[in-house]
Structure 1
């Protein structure tokens, strides 16, 4: 069982993500903004991090860049989820170190396939 950090400031999006992930058997820890996500990531080990891009205090791009600069997170996959769907946004997300960039709205299967890609399992 892997440990996943999920950060999103929208209660609706968070509920959607948690519902999608509930059957995976993974342990899920949540954060409601970028600052909290970064603090939790630094405080305990995670196998995967899912970040919304547009969040208060620190956006997902900033958190991703900050974490990926730290050698501790070099091999920890980060998935960005966002309504920012332009090619330049996707390019910027990858440039910040994101392993995956998923645009909203998305189907639960997209998140599950990305989780499976990085963590294995069904």
Structure 2
């Protein structure tokens, strides 16, 4: 049971190999926590809708996102602030307009699978 943490290694298993495979499947706890935070962001239907639209359209302005999604400009801006802080999207200035694009390639890959 080489993959089981020492504090749990004393417990009896039914199948050592299955327990080790399960532990290997969990992987790095920090990576698991990072994905949990991503899924928390994706759990909100409004944010998920915005992310799907951004993934499909590429760099896009707040007003265009609001029109495409049916979400108010204010709500779009608030959601983008959360997504930007989390590092999932980034804003790029284009003159007086800020266009938003995906900045997390792992979330982008996930969105392409579900979109």
Bucket of the pairwise TM-score, normalised by the shorter protein:
under 0.3
Larger Rg: 1 or 2? 2
TM-score normalized with structure 1 length: 0.25
Higher relative contact order (CA 8 A, sep 6+): 1
Write 1 or 2 for the structure with the bigger share of strand. 1
